[in-house]
Structure 1
């Protein structure tokens, strides 16, 4: 392990963060607007649960900002993705294709449906599901049947494809939709990390049949815990709201439920926080882009590293900045992580790949060389909006 690599990593961080108070967290929420005012209004009026004006307002704000016709809020991003998959028709013993390079929630939401994750490789530039790798995998295993396509190796129905916009960097959705269109597979976008990211001006999460967002405490904006589902389909929007509200049929006093539903609605208290955060989203995105530009300048001259950038023609939110070792090596990666921790900078490696986890190691997958290399060499670096200046 070369000491110079760690030194170069620290010098890049110091060039951008050296003036910041230490320790420096990976990503912190920021409450500098009307958060106190709106949350206090919930407390003062007593509207703190899953009914209240801020729930409707937050959904309206999300729809207007993303360009989706319908936005349905949820208690968290995983619940949002679970509901989206169910409404897209994913059922027990189906297979759902998704990247092995993703957060655990993507695979877990598939498992909640009783379905089986089927892992595909990622693209080195945007870190997301690689359309070419997906096409090669489908060409290998897919065979037509009366109700669509099935995996000829397992006999299971192929039900959907779930791309995930890693760290807010958009997937090549045009190429992906082309592949999925050839096989008639619905696309459910996991846009949990990409609020504010766009492809040619169109917001992530609005390309497929349905998309989902997350507002966890470490996301670009937060509702504490929370998520949302985006769709342009009016009937799906109604079904999503029904399914996430315990499938209760409206009635003045009766408790009538017409199917198994889920208590997934976002509380008014959380939505109020989200409304205040949405007011400041453009400002926070601007500061995150300044921070990303500073990191790019700091690491561009270091031969051992590649800074991850938004794809051409896209506008990423730079939720989490990342650098990749040009020669991926776990020992070198971990040495850099330790050096950063010792210096007071909170950094982290990529998530463990899904097919390496005990509950998913027997799931089907194609060749995964790019994801394996990224896992061995990617490091996330501090990305809070406040680090980009301003307040």
Structure 2
């Protein structure tokens, strides 16, 4: 039995608001839903014996993803981290380069930079979107870098800043137009991290399709899942061909010979995972609508809570609301851990935002701009139960 007598009044009110939405019993943070053709497609895949990296479901999944997002090409890979890794390589990121990465992100964003032998350079976010703040970054780069031979050079380290990775946190679209303008002015490549925002749009255009490349993830906790899985989106036909080549061990086509013309990766999505993805993608529009209805219910439940609010999509954007995001007000930020304990003790799986990247042991020595907003958000964000079935009974 949960002892609520020791809870602060604000925590009790917030707990009651969550219960009003999710109902009784234990509730997971995010679970997949399999209610379509998953069993049929998986059986068809098994019957065909094509369960690995070759098969018609891989081709279909890529075509369906391209059609849904509006990208000219989609290249399916084993996970979102692999997609980021290869996209950064294709963007020209080299060992010793720096890449601008939001401090407020999942560790995979920074790890993909490190896989290239490059150095993450951590930047601040804005509270309105939780995403990279292009104006703050513009001011920072203006004071700390210079353009040499068409390249952005960090004056403190002497290294080239090659690229920027804007990440749409929890599916909420960030100010991508501001990021693209910044990238043009400072000669940066843009690799858009849309791993959490499948189904989100900005002025009707799908996230992940604004820069030369964007990446998606289909992990088990994402809006749709292939078990694992990710994809690279691009309108550049040559880039897409190169991405597919690199992620298929860089093997040259031949009926029997094994010739690999560059260092490649065994990153192709298996056909059996793609079969699951095809069935999930057929239901994606319904999943997004369910999440948007859930968001509306949370907003209603929290309308009377003065200490916190539910994050709302920016104007002109449409969020998939992958993870519903509660933002505590600054004066009650110290209640975050009490609220996390109270909700999880009650069987409600809630989670804080990730530890900021510059505080993680592998990245403490990396360059960083001042991070006042990210530091504040880290103390105040709580993700609420967000499965498409939550509160639908």
Scaled to the shorter chain, the TM-score interval is over 0.9
* Aligned partner of 2:326 among 323, 328, 339: 323
Give the superposition deviation at 1:330.
Answer: 5.8
Give the superposition deviation at 1:215.
Answer: 0.1
Q: Over residues 62-93 of structure 1, what are the superposed CA-to-partner deviations in whole Å (9 max), with x where a residue is unaligned?
A: 00000000000000000000000000000100
8 Å Cα contact 1:328/1:377 also seen in 2: no
Confirm whether residue 153 of structure 1 aligns to residue 156 of structure 2: yes
2:92 aligns to what? 89
The equivalences for 1:88-237 within 5 A come to: 88-237=91-240
Distance of aligned partners of 1:260 and 1:328 in 2 relative to their CA distance in 1, 3 Å threshold: farther
C-alpha distance in structure 2 between counterparts of 1:11 and 1:136, whole Å: 43
C-alpha distance in structure 2 between counterparts of 1:253 and 1:217, whole Å: 36
Distance of aligned partners of 1:3 and 1:267 in 2 relative to their CA distance in 1, 3 Å threshold: same
Confirm whether residue 310 of structure 1 aligns to residue 313 of structure 2: yes
8 Å Cα contact 1:165/1:191 also seen in 2: yes
1:264 aligns to what? 267
C-alpha distance in structure 2 between counterparts of 1:179 and 1:121, whole Å: 14
Unaligned runs of 5+ in 2: 1-5
C-alpha distance in structure 1 between counterparts of 2:356 and 2:82, whole Å: 21
Secondary structure of 1:16 counterpart: helix
8 Å Cα contact 2:327/2:381 also seen in 1: yes
Q: Normalization by structure 1: what TM-score?
A: 0.97
Q: Which runs of 4+ in 1 moved over 6 A?
A: none
1:348 aligns to what? 351
Give the superposition deviation at 1:191.
Answer: 0.3
Q: Over residues 326-352 of structure 1, what are the superposed CA-to-partner deviations in whole Å (9 max), with x where a residue is unaligned?
A: 026664101001110121100000000
8 Å Cα contact 2:22/2:391 also seen in 1: no
Confirm whether residue 8 of structure 1 aligns to residue 20 of structure 2: no
The equivalences for 1:241-390 within 5 A come to: 241-327=244-330, 331-387=334-390, 389=392
Give the superposition deviation at 1:389.
Answer: 2.4
Q: Normalization by structure 2: what TM-score?
A: 0.97
C-alpha distance in structure 1 between counterparts of 2:56 and 2:109, whole Å: 30
Give the superposition deviation at 1:271.
Answer: 0.1
8 Å Cα contact 1:120/1:137 also seen in 2: no
C-alpha distance in structure 2 between counterparts of 1:41 and 1:326, whole Å: 51
1:64 aligns to what? 67
Unaligned runs of 5+ in 1: none
8 Å Cα contact 2:150/2:187 also seen in 1: no
C-alpha distance in structure 2 between counterparts of 1:118 and 1:70, whole Å: 29
